[in-house]
A and B are shown apart, each in its own frame.
Chain A
Amino acid sequence: MDKTVNQKAWFLVLPVFLIVAFSAVLPLMTVVNYSVQDTFGNNQFFWNGVGWFKELLDPSSDLGSRFFASLLRNLAFSAIILTIQVPLGILVALSMPREGWRVAACLVILALPLLIPWNVVGTIWQIFGRPDIGLLGYTLNHMGIDYNYVSNEFDAWATVIVMDVWHWTSLVALLCYAGLKSIPDAYYQAAQIDGASRWAVFRAIQLPKLNRVLLIGVLLRFMDSFMIYTEPFVVTGGGPGNSTTFVSIELVKIALGQFDLGKAAALSLVYNLIVLIVCWVFYTVMTNAGVDHTKPEGAV
């Protein structure tokens, strides 16, 4: 749709601009302020320049090593859950029933985990996985598998990953389902006449149509897994040791636990910058994909 140029539209956007600026810019300014200062308590602050940033980006210091370790852990976590959730989500979307009450029932069950408060998600899996009272832990241990997410690193990781798959795969599935629904029947009929195989239909018709929603899905999943805090915090508390301490958990530990304002602020800014860059890359790809879509064939 062609839009008209109208600078007065700013008046309509102004309330949103103000409230988001109040919620985002103002706090970020205090973060910037803290990140360049040091304190000995009593609200006395000293100029510290880029000292905190130097320490943060130096892997040999205490702060730096903690930051890089949690960052690596978090990236590994995001990579693992994306490789599980995206194919699984597509598979579930392809398996959805076509019509009738079953569609509504499936949609409601799929959406259910998404609406559970995040700490309750943690609680559910904490209870479900416990070897003494949880169905999962009890069954696994009685099958002869020594499973204990509190003391074993691998089990803790497996629990957090399965929990995230449980919690968020539905999101990818719902997105893909919406994308699949928008494919006209004529495409499938044409494919049938051509005698295309099931795989060919998927590759040539369904996957291209899913491009856009998958992009949104991957973006949302990457971002939300990159800022994950509550669920692993409730289940494992970041442990055993530091094995499931992700960036947000580390940040909250430094900021609200130790009240190390300068370190926390520097970490916040770098963290936010990473998010912003990834976001920008996705946004550019997304808007470009939209443009290519509307361009006629052969246009430059």
Chain B
Amino acid sequence: MHTIPGRRIILTLFLIFLLLPIYWLVNMSFKTNNEIVSTMTLWPHQPTLANYIRIFTDESWYSGYINSLKYVIINTILSISFALPAAYAFSRYRFLGDKHLFFWLLSNRMAPPAVFALPFFNLYSAIGLFDTPWAVALAHCLFNVPLAVWILEGFVSGVPREIDETAFLDGYSFPKFFVKILVPLIASGIGVAAFFCFMFSWVELLLARTLTSVNAKPISAVMTRTVSASGMDWGLLAAAGVLTIIPGALVIWFVRNYIARGFALGRV
């Protein structure tokens, strides 16, 4: 009774619709530019790794990946460590202005990054962080910290209060309780929140591009610039695109059972 008639066809069609454009990108990344421009082939007839080799040997290309990973990792660590205590507080206590604060956090998750591009540029230039991974990592906290609070709050609420009380009766201090008992209990929740912080920081381009120029340029910005300079090197562009999909595809596998819950901000 869960499902509907014709479900196999619907699902298969939809999955094909999802995979086809990705397949085309992968297909192009293994072609030479000559083959791409001159003929229309459904698979590479002269498969080549030249595009990938160029990315892995040219520093201006691979440093883009390293820069992106730097700010994404800094941001994930910052967001989770800031959000954990707050999530606990929202889940366990009532305090002055808690509902308003929660709404304010939510509204920041929804705020258009375009609004913040220019002021962030000014702000981080003024404090000397412009063109460092820290600028992007801090800027992405704008939407990732609220997101992490939301997700973790859902998971902390799933831990029965009795566990807190028992721990305090056993003489645990608050920090010790937090690290020794609470964190292990919501480990999967932390994993999910980290995954979502990783993801939203990884996919964002506008702020990352605005806040960097040379030294910390993320891969997404490298892609846009190099392409226009070299006059549309389609194969190279496709290979760079494929390489940006891989980290995401790898981490999905680990959280596949929690994906939906995380997207519901921990509220299913």
Measured CB to CB, the residues of A under 8 A from B are 1, 3-10, 12-13, 15-17, 19-20, 22-24, 26-28, 30-31, 88, 91-92, 94-98, 104, 106-120, 123-125, 127-128, 132-136, 138, 166, 169-171, 174-175, 177-182, 188, 191-192, 198, 201, 212-213, 216, 219-220, 223, 226-227, 229-230, 234, 247-249, 251-252, 255-256, 261, 264-265, 268, 271-272, 275-276, 279-280, 283, 287
CB distance from B55 to the nearest CB of A (A): 14
CB distance from A120 to the nearest CB of B (A): 5
**Smallest CB gap from A16: residue in B:** B86
Asked whether, in the complex, the Cβ of A227 is within 8 Å of the Cβ of B123, the reply is no
**Smallest CB gap from B209: residue in A:** A119
Q: Tell me the bound Cα distance from A216 to B112 in angstroms.
A: 18
Whether, in the assembled complex, B145 has its beta carbon less than 8 Å from a beta carbon of chain A, the answer is yes
Whether, in the assembled complex, B186 has its beta carbon less than 8 Å from a beta carbon of chain A, the answer is no
Q: Tell me the bound Cα distance from A114 to B209 in angstroms.
A: 20
13 A-B contacts (beta carbon < 8 Å): A10-B96, A16-B86, A19-B145, A20-B146, A30-B122, A95-B14, A96-B7, A104-B256, A106-B15, A109-B18, A115-B251, A134-B24, A179-B268
Task: State how many residues of chain B have any CB contact under 8 Å with chain A.
Answer: 102
Asked whether, in the complex, the Cβ of B86 is within 8 Å of the Cβ of A15, the reply is yes
Asked whether, in the complex, the Cβ of B21 is within 8 Å of the Cβ of A124, the reply is yes
Among A16, A30, A134, A223, the residue within 8 A (CB) of B119 is A30
| B220 partner residues in chain A, CB cutoff 8 A | 117-120
| B229 partner residues in chain A, CB cutoff 8 A | none
Q: Tell me the bound Cα distance from A212 to B267 in angstroms.
A: 9
Most interface-central of B93, B98, B113, B142 (chain A CB within 10 A): B93
Asked whether, in the complex, the Cβ of B223 is within 8 Å of the Cβ of A23, the reply is no
Asked whether, in the complex, the Cβ of B120 is within 8 Å of the Cβ of A279, the reply is no
Q: A20-B146, A192-B1, A248-B114 are in contact. Are A117 and B244 (CB under 8 A)?
A: yes
Interface string of B112-153 (1 = CB under 8 A from A): 111111111111000000000000001101100110010000
| B25 partner residues in chain A, CB cutoff 8 A | 123-124, 127-128
Asked whether, in the complex, the Cβ of A128 is within 8 Å of the Cβ of B10, the reply is no
**Smallest CB gap from A252: residue in B:** B114
Asked whether, in the complex, the Cβ of B4 is within 8 Å of the Cβ of A95, the reply is yes
> How many CB-defined contacts (below 8 Å) exist between A and B?
308
Measured CB to CB, the residues of B under 8 A from A are 1-5, 7-8, 10-11, 14-15, 17-22, 24-25, 28, 36-37, 40, 42, 78, 82-83, 85-86, 88-96, 98-99, 101, 103-108, 110-123, 138-139, 141-142, 145-146, 149, 157, 161, 199, 202-206, 210, 219-220, 223-224, 234, 237-238, 241, 244-245, 248-249, 251-253, 256-257, 259-261, 263-265, 267-268
**Smallest CB gap from A206: residue in B:** B2
Task: Specify the main secondary structure of chain A where it touches its partner.
Answer: helix
Task: Specify the main secondary structure of chain B where it touches its partner.
Answer: helix
CB distance from A10 to the nearest CB of B (A): 6
CB distance from A11 to the nearest CB of B (A): 8
| B257 partner residues in chain A, CB cutoff 8 A | 104, 107
| B121 partner residues in chain A, CB cutoff 8 A | 256
Most interface-central of B7, B21, B90, B99 (chain A CB within 10 A): B21
| B115 partner residues in chain A, CB cutoff 8 A | 31, 251, 268, 271-272
Asked whether, in the complex, the Cβ of B118 is within 8 Å of the Cβ of A115, the reply is no
Among A20, A30, A95, A271, the residue within 8 A (CB) of B3 is A95
